[in-house]
Structure 1
Amino acid sequence: QVWLNSKRNGEAAAIDAYKTALALGGSRPLPELFEAAACRFDFGPEIVEELMTAVREELDTLPA
């Protein structure tokens, strides 16, 4: 999700959000850490499909 955020919102924004989550360390529950990283604490089929679609699209842009 961090990678996808970097593709959508820019690398700097994604890294900043990720670093914000890392700075919280173990002081917050996992769902809050994901939220701080601008990610969803969700591993259901919808989010996995969204991520895999983005990965497939990215792979399609790479040379064979």
Structure 2
Amino acid sequence: MVYKVLYQALVNEIPVRERTQVLYVEADSEREVRNKLQGREMNIEFIHELDEAHLNYEKQSSDFKLENV
């Protein structure tokens, strides 16, 4: 499964929508995604499992890049 992770790069600041960044991670569960990203400096806002239709839509974006964690 592929998960879309919305996060803030600044850990010590309040989340601001305009600074939200996106990361795509392949994992079996949301917990596994959190474990894979545990050592990174990021404030995770939301993790969303992508279904097939949503994944195909995201792949059309030039910003889509599946992270190898």
TM bin, normalised by shorter chain, reads: under 0.3
Structure with the greater relative contact order (CA < 8 A, sep ≥ 6): 1 or 2? Answer: 2
